[in-house]
Amino acid sequence: MSLFDKTSQALQTSLAMRQLRHNVTSSNVANAETPGYHAQKVDFEDALARAVDLDGLRGMSANHGDHFSVGGKSARVRPDIYDNPQAEVNPDGNTVDLEKEMSTLAENAILYKAALQLINKKMAALKYAASEGR
């Protein structure tokens, strides 16, 4: 029996992926004035769903290096990071839309804090159960 359930594992993975999204978006903002820079985008929701086995695919196995592991603690999530195909190209070849990037940073920060609060509540419940929940 595991001390941490699927929800805890999903929240932990979500935090890691939100950190990655923050890093990629921050890099876009930092390069907003760099000629020829192409804005990057991170999509991890599908990978996260596979990692926590939300689709009930526990019977599947990853038998190739590019496949996702499914279910269990060992699930590895590798999100897709690619050039943003919806970005408009500026005259200098740069594709960063500073307003969209700042909006993405703000949204990501809110979702990161929400996941962190959920983890804190789960840990508080475990602490209560271990110490006072008789």
Q: What is the pLDDT of residues 1-43, one digit of tens each?
A: 456 677 888 888 889 889 999 999 999 999 999 999 999 998 8
User: What are the structure tokens assigned to 70, written together?
Assistant: 């499914």
What are residue 77's phi and psi, to 5 degrees? -115, 125
Helices (H), 31-97: 45-51
At residue 76, the pLDDT reads 62
pLDDT tens column, 41-88: 988 777 777 666 655 555 455 555 555 444 444 346 678 889 988 889
Residue 71: the pLDDT is 44
Q: Give the per-residue pLDDT at 1.
A: 40
CA 63 to each of CA 21, 67, 69: distance values in angstroms, whole numbers, following the listed order? 28, 7, 9
